[in-house]
């Protein structure tokens, strides 16, 4: 089988404009004859649901939180990119496009990324019109900052709460449409399956998290805007309930899953402090602008505390990023910084009680600029660090360690954001489309809102216009009852295992396997071993899981178990994909493919493709379809930060 | 610091479901690392309970970073616990003493019915928002973002209000169970910004009307809300809401009192 990416012909900069003209239109009066299901109301889902409803479609929107305002998008701190060039520092659509393609280590589609850069400017206009209070300068115009090592200032922000303000903007747009009756919002409802009829998506099955009721909903199209699957690792910076189930269920109904192994591991997070740890907290990457990263030169000083570190003489310290990368120093990209932290800790030079941490030291910056200046820049971050660790970063160095942060992989989609299952779309972090093998800072918010506000409202017409007018989806089709029955059977199965291990017990084991063998550094043997271990763990799950209570009540143990069951399968696919891709690229580091200096080495001849995996049935290996990536506008280069 | 542990006792509200009777149950958790967050301590307790075959204590949470507004515990008589300016998920066990008994309850307000244990239904907040907590603007066709300059001080004040996380602590702290701090934060944000100007009148009236219809009480200016708000939303926003409301009640059309 081959996959049709539907990238429009013509010059890069004209593709989207031309495509918008060529897609089929649905007459405004006819839009109200179609129902669209939007699963997930984070940035991608809320913006899509609001916009589609404004256009006239009837929308049913779902989320598992008690309100759309609480989606994981709310936690994004740093900002959102847009090629406005308000700072007149040489930014342009092409530069944002180029940076994103290069940052993704040439594993994304040119056409998609260019479109993203094009619509980025409209996003900012839209948000301001909604009343999003972006930071402004003294002249009253919008302020920008440079983020994640970008050479231009194109990042818009709202204090350290950009995701919150953007989500509240999208939520307000959604709320407005709920008030008009065009959107019906279903909160505390979790999608358990996609319903397909004759190979096309026609609805979903949900579980009401308060009453346990399993029911189905019909629609002419289904949009999955369900976020990323970083929580496969148990510990990540994602919100506790973020999960991969919606995408996974779609995969099992025929949708391809692309590049599942592409995971972003963020270098600056607060290290794990104990077995009881429930999640990891991100410390903004901006800290690396002034903080110096180091560990002791000698193993004999390993595991020192932050208080002891202050007394360790300069001659005993190894500022390893500055040493290895003289030109970029502490500002090397996320994946490089993360891998190096792992390396020095593996050498036995890590610090803190666990030895799994490195220092991020502000002593020199404070000496140079004064405490006041540092406080003005990072005061809230320093407070947050102190709140969590009880250490004062003005006096002792911070301790940081990498943590799983974002998944670039996701459901395969074409240029229209459609999966290979007709009528089934994927938006936001749930799809694979724009970030290649590594996402740049401040680009996920941009992509989520681009997909929801400006792409899907056009591209969905191409499909809807092919459907017979005025025909409601027939809920009496046996596919609905069948899918409900299957979902109910899964629930009953989990409730009846009655073993001894809690979902968290098993999830932590899965997390360890993934982190060890499919984390910052991967190799063939390790991945093979991991695959076997995950298969064993799945057996354990099926024999020894403990869930208490009934389906017909608020049952958070059951919720966890259902999500974990899918993670246990998705984890294996990640390992299979990482095994197949024996090159290194972006955040995917295969030890077998490195330069002499130990840096990631791409193998463009062999791996310049999107790996799209298809479900072939229980116990069978998944099938691999390759979508070749064609680069006509950029030259592929090996990244170097020396 | 590292390695220090404490033993604590807990009295936690248990309630099987909405309209079901509830009562306090006692628990003990030993060897609690002081570096644990309060919610991680509850996780440990829940894992133990689950292993004993008991239904875990249900509580809402998601981001565990103080931003989603999901966590909502009333700890030792205070929403979000004893510390100022943080949410429950940001509270750490080093705040408590060895041997201490900690009392944990859900938010209590008729507009926030208990769904189970410590989980309450806050959809009333969403309905207040639906009544008018937005600018009526559709996607596309809007002016350039820099077309209207907004003084930094005004933008900053709007941002102060916009930081509300919709947690409901203000309601839980208020003897009248008023949600005026929450409602005023949104009205204030949009009243301050030029983009919100066209609908000021309708917004203030509609949101207050919905606030009352949901069964939230009237504001009598006790300031209890401000004292517990994790985002330190100021009651000056309630004063602004009152002004907006009064002007809206007496003026004929939207343009009468623009800015
Ligand atoms: C700590 C942190 C900081 C970040 N900072 C930045 C930043 O500064 N800039 C940037 O660009 N990006 C940042 N990111 C990344 C960015 O926040 C996310 O990638 C993005 O917000 C994802 O948005 P989304 O709409 O795709 O999904 P989400 O916001 O995750 O929303 C998922 C939605 O799907 C729903 N859902 C999921 N599964 C189901 C189901 N089965 N049934 C029903 N509903 C379901 C959820 O309820 C939710 O509404 C950050 C991420 C983290 C973790
Ligand atoms: S005003 Fe404060 S206490 Fe009330 S909902 Fe908002 S953040 Fe919570
Ligand atoms: S869990 Fe999100 S604010 Fe506490």
Interface confidence, given as ipTM, is 0.97
Q: Where are the extended beta strands (E) located within A513-640? A: 609-614, 623-628
pLDDT at residue A598, rounded to an integer: 87
Assign a CATH topology to domain B122-257: Fumarate Reductase Iron-sulfur Protein; Chain B, domain 2 (1.10.1060)
Q: Where are the extended beta strands (E) located within A336-489? A: 358-361, 398-407, 410-411, 424-426
Distance CA B116, CA A553 (A): 9
SS (H, E, C) A116-145: HHHHHHHHHHHHHHHCCCCCECCCCCECCE
Query: For A21-42, what is each residue's pLDDT tens digit?
Result: 999 999 999 999 999 999 999 9
Backbone angles phi, psi at A283, to 5 degrees: -105, 135
- Which chain B residue has its CA at the smallest distance from A87's CA? B146
pLDDT band for position B257 (cuts 50, 70, 90): very low
Q: Which ligand is nearest to the CA of A250?
A: 1
B170 lines ligand 2 (CB under 6 A): yes
pLDDT at residue B1, rounded to an integer: 41
A387 by Cβ neighbours in 10 Å (0-12 / 13-18 / 19+) ranks as middle
* Model confidence at B233: pLDDT above 80: yes
pLDDT at residue A286, rounded to an integer: 84
pLDDT at residue A78, rounded to an integer: 87
3-state secondary structure of A566: helix
B246 by Cβ neighbours in 10 Å (0-12 / 13-18 / 19+) ranks as exposed
Ligand 1 center to A242 CA (angstroms): 8
| Per-residue tokens: B131 | 């009544």
| Nearest Cβ partner for A70 among B40, B70, B135 | B70
Distance CA A101, CA A586 (A): 11
* Partners of A292 in the β-ladder: A361
Distance CA B93, CA A445 (A): 34
Q: Are A192 and A206 in contact (CB under 8 A)?
A: yes
**In this complex, how many residue pairs, one in chain A and one in chain B, have their CB atoms less than 8 Å apart?**
216
**Count of CB atoms within 10 A of residue B112's CB?**
24
Q: How many CA atoms lie within 13 A of A490 on its CB side?
A: 20
| Nearest Cβ partner for A276 among B1, B40, B123 | B40
Q: Where are the extended beta strands (E) located within A270-316? A: 292-296
Which residue owns the Cα nearest ligand 1 atom 3?
A76
Closest CA to A467 of A249, A197, A247, A185: A197
Measured between alpha carbons, how far apart are the two ends of chain B, in Å?
Answer: 54
Q: What is the DSSP string of chain B?
A: -TT-EEEEEEEEEEESSTTS-EEEEEEEEEEEETTSBHHHHHHHHHHHHHHTTPPPPP---SSSSS-S-----EETTEET-SSTT--GGG-BGGGS-TT-EEEEE----TTS-EEETTEE--HHHHHHHHHH-S----SS-PPPTTSS---HHHHHHHHHHHT-----HHHHH-TT---HHHHHHHHHHHHHSGGGGGGHHHHHHHHHHHHHHTT--------HHHHH-TT---THHHHHHHHHHHHHHH-SSGGGG--
Nearest Cα of chain B lies from the Cα of A221 at a distance, in angstroms, of 21
| Per-residue tokens: A321 | 């990023």
Distance CA A54, CA A410 (A): 28
Q: Pocket residues for ligand 3 (CB within 6 Å)?
A: B 61-64, 66-71, 87-89
| Per-residue tokens: A626 | 């390759």
| Nearest Cβ partner for A178 among B44, B130, B138 | B130
Measured between alpha carbons, how far apart are the two ends of chain A, in Å?
Answer: 42
pTM (2 d.p.)? 0.98
Closest CA to A562 of A112, A133, A214: A214
Return all residues near A213 (Cβ < 8 A) that are at least 6 apart: A207, A552
Given the DSSP bridges, would you call strands A200-208 and A189-197 parallel, antiparallel or unpaired?
A: antiparallel
* Partners of A263 in the β-ladder: A407
Cβ–Cβ gap B152/A239 under 8 Å: no
Distance CA A285, CA B82 (A): 31
The list of chain A residues with pLDDT below 50 reads none
- Which chain A residue has its CA at the smallest distance from B138's CA? A54
The order of strands in the sheet holding A189-197 is A189-197, A200-208, A214-218
* Model confidence at B252: pLDDT above 80: no
| Per-residue tokens: A280 | 């990891």
Q: Are A517 and A575 in contact (CB under 8 A)?
A: yes
Given the DSSP bridges, would you call strands B101-105 and B114-116 parallel, antiparallel or unpaired?
A: unpaired
- Give A-chain residues touching B2 at CB under 8 angstroms: 273, 305, 353
B161 lines ligand 2 (CB under 6 A): no
Query: For A474-524, what is each residue's pLDDT tens digit?
Result: 999 999 999 999 999 999 999 999 999 999 999 999 999 999 999 999 999
Query: Which residues of A are catalytic, by number?
Result: 334
Helices assigned H by DSSP within A434-555: 444-449, 456-464, 478-495, 503-517, 524-544
Share of residues in chain B with pLDDT > 90 (%):
95
- Give B-chain residues touching A505 at CB under 8 angstroms: 47
Q: Where are the domains of chain B?
A: 5-105, 122-257
Closest CA to A613 of A597, A624, A602, A603: A624
* Partners of B78 in the β-ladder: B75
* Partners of B104 in the β-ladder: B12, B75
Q: Are A170 and A47 in contact (CB under 8 A)?
A: yes
Which residue owns the Cα nearest ligand 2 atom 1?
B182
A21 — alpha (psi -120 to 50), left (phi > 0) or beta? Answer: alpha
Closest CA to A40 of A213, A250, A232: A250
pLDDT at residue A504, rounded to an integer: 98
pLDDT at residue B259, rounded to an integer: 43
CA-based radius of gyration for chain A: 24
Distance CA B24, CA B9 (A): 12
Superfamily of domain B5-105: Beta-grasp domain (3.10.20.30)
Ligand 2 center to B231 CA (angstroms): 7
Q: Are B85 and B75 in contact (CB under 8 A)?
A: no
Q: Where do the domains of chain A lie, and which CATH numbers do they carry?
A: 266-405 (3.90.700.10), 478-607 (1.20.58.100)
Task: Tally the residues of chain A.
Answer: 642
Query: For B88-146, what is each residue's pLDDT tens digit?
Result: 999 999 999 999 999 999 999 999 999 999 999 999 999 999 999 999 999 999 999 99
pLDDT at residue B255, rounded to an integer: 52
Ligand 1 center to A461 CA (angstroms): 26
Cβ–Cβ gap B67/A274 under 8 Å: no
> Angle CA(A203)–CA(A239)–CA(A567) in degrees, nearest 5?
60
* Partners of B121 in the β-ladder: none
Task: Tally the residues of chain B.
Answer: 259
pLDDT band for position B253 (cuts 50, 70, 90): low
pLDDT (mean) for B224-248:
96
Closest CA to A508 of A560, A552, A442, A430: A560
3-state secondary structure of A71: coil
Cβ–Cβ gap B50/A557 under 8 Å: yes
Closest CA to A401 of A361, A362, A358: A358
């Amino acid at each position: 089988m081959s996959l049709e990416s539907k990238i429009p012909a013509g010059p890069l900069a004209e593709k989207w404009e031309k495509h918008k003209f060529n897609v089929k239109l649905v007459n405004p009066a006819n839009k109200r004859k179609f129902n669209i299901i939007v699963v997930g109301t984070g940035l991608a889902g809320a913006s899509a649901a609001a916009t589609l409803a404004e256009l006239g479609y009837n929308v049913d929107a779902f989320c598992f939180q008690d309100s759309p305002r609480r989606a994981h998008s709310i936690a994004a701190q740093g900002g959102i990119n847009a090629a406005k060039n308000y700072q007149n520092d040489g930014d342009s659509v092409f530069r944002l496009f180029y940076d994103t393609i290069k940052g993704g280590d040439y594993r994304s589609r040119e056409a998609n990324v260019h479109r993203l850069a094009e619509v980025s400017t409209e996003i900012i206009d839209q948000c301001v019109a909604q009343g999003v209070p972006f930071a402004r300068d003294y002249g009253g115009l919008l302020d920008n900052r440079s983020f994640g090592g970008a050479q231009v200032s194109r990042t818009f922000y709202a204090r350290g709460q950009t995701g919150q303000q953007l989500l509240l903007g999208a939520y307000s747009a959604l709320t407005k449409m709920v008030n008009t009756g065009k959107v019906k919002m279903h909160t505390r409802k979790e999608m358990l399956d996609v319903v397909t009829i004759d190979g096309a998506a026609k609805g979903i099955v949900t579980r009401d998290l308060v009453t346990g009721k399993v029911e189905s909903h019909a629609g002419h199209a289904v949009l999955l805007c369900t976020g990323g699957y970083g929580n496969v690792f148990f510990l990540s910076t994602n919100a506790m309930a973020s999960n991969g189930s919606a995408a996974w269920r779609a995969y099992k109904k025929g949708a391809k899953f692309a590049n599942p192994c592409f995971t972003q591991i963020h270098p600056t997070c607060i290290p794990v402090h104990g077995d009881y740890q429930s999640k990891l907290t991100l410390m903004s990457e901006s800290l690396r602008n002034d903080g110096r990263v180091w560990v002791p030169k000698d193993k004999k000083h390993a595991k020192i505390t932050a208080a002891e570190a202050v007394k360790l003489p300069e001659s005993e310290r190894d500022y390893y990023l500055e040493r290895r990368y003289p030109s970029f120093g502490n500002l090397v990209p996320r994946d490089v910084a993360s891998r190096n932290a792992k390396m020095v800790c593996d050498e036995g030079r890590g610090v803190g009680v666990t030895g799994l941490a490195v220092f991020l030291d502000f002593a020199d910056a404070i000496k140079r600029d004064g405490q006041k200046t540092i406080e003005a820049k990072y005061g809230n971050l320093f407070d947050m660090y102190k709140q969590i660790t009880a250490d004062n970063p003005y006096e002792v160095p911070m301790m940081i360690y990498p943590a799983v942060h974002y998944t670039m992989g996701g459901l395969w989609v074409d240029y229209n954001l459609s999966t290979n299952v007709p009528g089934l779309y994927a938006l936001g972090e749930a799809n694979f489309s724009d970030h290649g093998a590594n996402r740049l800072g401040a680009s996920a918010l941009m992509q989520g809102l681009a997909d929801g506000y400006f792409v899907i409202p056009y591209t969905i017409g191409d499909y809807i216009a092919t459907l017979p007018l005025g025909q409601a989806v027939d809920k009496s089709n046996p596919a609905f009852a069948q899918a409900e029955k299957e979902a109910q059977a899964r629930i009953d199965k989990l409730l009846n295992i009655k073993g001894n291990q809690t979902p968290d017990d098993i999830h932590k084991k899965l997390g360890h396997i993934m982190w060890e063998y499919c984390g910052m550094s991967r190799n063939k043997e390790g991945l093979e071993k991991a695959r076997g271990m995950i298969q064993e763990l799945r057996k354990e799950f099926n024999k020894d899981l403990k869930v208490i209570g009934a389906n017909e009540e608020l049952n958070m143990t059951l919720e966890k178990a259902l999500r974990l069951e899918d993670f246990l399968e998705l984890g294996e696919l990640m390992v299979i994909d990482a095994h197949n891709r024996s090159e290194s690229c972006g955040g995917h580091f295969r030890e077998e493919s490195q330069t002499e200096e130990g840096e990631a080495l791409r193998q463009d001849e062999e791996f310049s493709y999107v790996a799209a995996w298809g479900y072939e049935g229980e116990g069978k290996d998944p099938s691999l379809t390759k979508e070749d990536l064609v680069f006509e506008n950029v030259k592929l280069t090996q990244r170097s930060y020396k | 610091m590292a390695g220090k542990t404490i033993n604590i006792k807990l009295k936690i509200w248990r309630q099987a479901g909405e309209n079901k009777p509830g009562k306090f149950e006692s628990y003990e958790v030993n060897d609690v690392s002081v570096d644990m967050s309060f919610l991680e301590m509850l996780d440990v307790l829940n894992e133990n309970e689950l292993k004993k075959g008991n239904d875990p204590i249900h509580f809402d949470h998601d981001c565990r970073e103080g931003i989603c507004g999901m966590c909502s515990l009333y700890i030792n008589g205070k929403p979000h616990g004893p510390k100022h300016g943080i949410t429950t998920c940001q509270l750490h066990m080093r705040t408590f003493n060895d041997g201490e008994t900690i009392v944990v309850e859900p938010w209590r307000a008729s507009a926030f019915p208990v769904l189970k244990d410590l989980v309450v239904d806050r959809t009333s907040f969403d309905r207040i928002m639906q009544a008018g907590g937005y600018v009526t603007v559709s996607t596309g066709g809007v002016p350039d973002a820099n077309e209207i300059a907004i003084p930094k001080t005004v933008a900053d004040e709007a941002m102060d209000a916009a930081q509300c996380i919709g947690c409901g602590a203000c309601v839980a702290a208020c003897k009248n169970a008023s949600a005026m701090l929450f409602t005023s934060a949104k009205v204030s944000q949009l009243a301050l910004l030029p983009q919100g100007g066209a609908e000021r009148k309708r917004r203030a009236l509609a949101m207050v009307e919905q606030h009352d219809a949901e069964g939230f009480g009237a504001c009598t200016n006790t300031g209890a809300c401000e004292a517990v708000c994790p985002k330190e939303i100021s009651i000056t926003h309630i004063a602004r809401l009152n002004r907006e409301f009064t002007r809206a009640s007496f003026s004929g059309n939207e343009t009468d009192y623009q800015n």
